[in-house]
């Protein structure tokens, strides 16, 4: 096929030899099957912000680092430069997450290069060597549904141990590769420790998995892996060897309001003292 304009720089620089076909077009990008030497890979071409239907919610971007204070100010003002910087940061988030998760052994496509707004990565294939289908295009037996659900729960744990929450995980962004499920589409991935919405996002991700596989194995609908996983993470007890039960009991212990108020009062007193020291130093 005729190479899309966005892929021409990669062809000119020898990163791509040929564009075979368009694989899919989604809310944030168009993906092409390309030939790189003897290998077949895929090229994810991000759509411009005004042509995408996916909006960059502040829930996702909270806690993300930017290159410098100038970019941060520009993003806050919404200037042309700020929008461009925000778009680049959004794309880079997926690249960073892919490299981070691939290094941690998570089932994600292997990234090869990010160049001119195009992400070159592994083409995930099925047992016949064809492009792997998304989970929502496949029917499962109860046994297969349980097995794939357990595999993905372990991948969620592996991701969280690497400090990442997918943030938009569902049957629409998981491929069924020749060796099992592969997680894709990570531009909205969040840092588990730096985002206040990480716990609710993780619970939603896990809930989506239970809801999908619960169509084939109904007992999965009553599991509470999301709450269980986050509780272990919050207490520093989450690891790759942890035995999950899918059950979670909410704490019924009453909150000690007096202790909470003492902590708040002590914090306020410490801050007031710090401000006094700063003021006294300025007067000298």
Count other Cβ atoms within 10 Å, centred on residue 62. Answer: 14
* Catalytic, out of 139, 144, 185, 265: 185
CA atoms of 115 and 275, how far apart (whole Å): 48
Backbone angles phi, psi at 12, to 5 degrees: -60, -35
The CA–CA distances, whole Å, from 19 to 1, 2, 3 equal 6, 7, 6
First-to-final CA distance of the chain: 74
CA atoms of 150 and 180, how far apart (whole Å): 11
User: In 77-96, which positions are buried (b, 16+ CB within 10 angstroms) versus exposed (e)?
Assistant: eeeeebeebbbebbbebbbb
Residue 17 among the catalytic residues: no
Residue 13 among the catalytic residues: no
The CA–CA distances, whole Å, from 215 to 176, 207, 219, 228 equal 17, 13, 9, 22
* Catalytic, out of 168, 237, 256, 265: 168
The three state secondary structure string of 11-37 is HHCCCCCEEEEEEEECCCEEEEEEEEC
Residues with a known catalytic role: 168, 185
């Amino acid at each position: 096929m005729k190479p899309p304009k966005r892929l021409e720089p990669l062809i000119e620089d020898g990163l791509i030899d040929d564009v075979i076909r368009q694989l899919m077009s989604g809310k944030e990008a168009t993906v092409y099957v390309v030939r790189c030497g003897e290998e077949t890979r895929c090229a994810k071409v991000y759509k411009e912000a005004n042509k995408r239907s996916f909006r960059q919610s502040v829930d996702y971007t909270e806690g993300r680092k930017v290159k410098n204070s100038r970019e941060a100010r520009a993003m806050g003002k919404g200037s042309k430069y700020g929008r461009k910087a925000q778009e680049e940061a959004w794309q880079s988030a997926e690249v960073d997450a892919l490299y981070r998760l691939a290094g941690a052994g998570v089932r994600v496509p292997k990234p090869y290069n990010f160049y001119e707004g195009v992400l070159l990565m592994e083409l995930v294939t099925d047992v016949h060597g064809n492009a792997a289908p998304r989970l929502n295009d496949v029917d499962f037996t109860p046994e297969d549904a349980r097995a794939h659900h357990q595999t993905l729960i372990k991948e969620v744990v592996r991701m969280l141990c690497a400090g990442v929450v997918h943030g938009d995980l569902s049957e629409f962004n998981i491929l069924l590769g020749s060796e099992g499920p592969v997680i894709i589409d990570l531009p909205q991935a969040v840092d588990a420790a730096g985002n206040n919405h990480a716990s609710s996002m993780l619970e939603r991700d896990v809930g989506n998995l239970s809801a999908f596989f619960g169509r084939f194995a109904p007992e999965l609908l009553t599991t509470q892996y999301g709450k269980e996983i986050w509780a272990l993470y919050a207490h520093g007890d989450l690891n790759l060897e942890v035995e999950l039960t899918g059950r979670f009991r909410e704490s019924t212990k009453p909150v000690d309001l007096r202790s909470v108020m003492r902590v708040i009062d002590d914090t306020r007193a410490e801050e007031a003292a710090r401000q006094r020291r700063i003021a006294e130093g300025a007067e000298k």
